[in-house]
Amino acid sequence: MSSLINWFYRKNDMSQAKVLNEREIKKCLLYISARRHASRNRCQFLLTHQSGMRVGEVAALRICDVLTTDGQIKEEVRLSAEQTKGDHSRVVYLPTKLQQELKSYLLTRFKVKDLQPILVTDTSRALFATQKNNKRGFSANTLAQYFHYLYKDVGIEGASSHSGRRGFLTSLASKGVSVRVLQELAGHKSLAVTQRYIEVNHQLLRNAVELV
C-alpha cells in the first residue's frame, strides 16, 4: 500500500495547491452540510485542514487508529509505514475540536449514543466507509477525486486535496510556530520540504513585522 501512495504523490505534485482562507473553508463546510454523508465528508475535510494529514493517510485510517480500547477518541494517531508516505511511520496530533468531530462522525455512522458499542464491531475496517465498500473504504485516488470535485463545485480555483495540508502549516507558521515543529507535525524528513509548503502571504508578513 505504501508504494501505491508514494506513486500517487509523485503523479500528483500538489505542494503548491491553493491555501484556503476562512471564508472559503466555511463555504466548503456549508456545501458539505447540505449533501449526503455530511458527517463523514466534513470529518475528512477537517482532518486535512486541522491536522495536516495527507489525503492518502486519511483514506488509510481505520476505526482502531482513532478509537481507544476503552471507547475514547485518541489524542494522537500513530500511522504505520504502510499508511503514510515515505515508508516511515509518524504521529498525527489531533486538536480537541477535531477529536469532537471524529466522535460526532462515529456516533452518526453507527447510530449510537456513545462509542462503547463500536468496540464490539470490527474496528480494523476503514474509518471512512463508502457505499461501494463498507470495509475497505476510500483509496487515496478516490478521496483525492472527491476533494477535486468539492472545490470545483464550490468554485474555488487552484485548490486540491493538498490545500488543507498547506493551509494547516501556513496557519501555524503565521502564529509563530517554528519551522522545526512544523516539520515534525508534517512528518517531513527534510526541513526544506516543510518550508516549501508554507505560503508567504500578507498576514504572515504583517505578523513578522509586528515582532520588531
Instruction: Report how far residue 107's alpha carbon sits from residue 109's, in angstroms, rounded to the nearest whole number.
Output: 6
Q: Residues 165-181: pLDDT tens digits?
A: 999 998 998 888 888 99
Residue 96 reports pLDDT greater than 70:
yes
CA dihedral 44, 47, 53, 56 (to 10 degrees): -10
Q: Quick check: pTM over 0.75? A: yes
Instruction: Identify the structural domains of the chain with CATH numbers, from first to last.
Output: 2-209 (1.10.443.10)
What mean pLDDT value characterizes the chain?
88
Neighbouring C-beta atoms of residue 86, cutoff 10 Å = 14
Q: What grid cell was written down for 70? A: 476503552
Q: Residues 121-165: pLDDT tens digits?
A: 999 999 998 877 667 789 999 999 999 999 999 999 999 999 999
Distance in angstroms between the alpha carbons of the first and the last residue of the chain: 48
CB contact set of 30 (below 8 Å; sequence gap of 6+): none
Minimum mean pLDDT range among 28-37, 50-59, 137-146, 191-200: 191-200
